[in-house]
Amino acid sequence: MSSQGEPLDKWEELLEVQIKILKECQVSKSLNSCTPCEHLIECDTRKAYIKAVYESMNKGSGGGFEF
């Protein structure tokens, strides 16, 4: 469920999984952000998280961001 009590759609569920994975990585490296990590640019975990954020925003429809 979302913070507003609505059920999560599949894109939001995938994002939640990626957030958990990203946070676990940060904790394992004693970081509270990806920014100081030496693998920031080439990190597959971070790339998967960014992709999940984008897809949750556009619900997998591709194209540009819609505000």
Q: How far apart are CA 29 and CA 46, in angstroms?
A: 14
Residue 23 has pLDDT above 90, yes or no: yes
User: What's the whole-model pTM score?
Assistant: 0.76
The residue-averaged pLDDT of 34-45 equals 95
Compute the 3-state secondary structure of the chain and give helix, strand, coil in percent, each to the nearest 5. 50, 0, 50
Tell me the one-letter amino acid at 38.
E
Q: What is the mean pLDDT of residues 19-31?
A: 97
| Distance in Å from the first CA to the final CA of the chain | 23
Output the pLDDT for position 64.
57
Q: Per-residue pLDDT for 18 more than 80?
A: yes
Q: Is the pLDDT of residue 7 over 80?
A: no
**What pLDDT does 30 receive?**
97
Write down the domain spans for the chain.
10-38+49-58
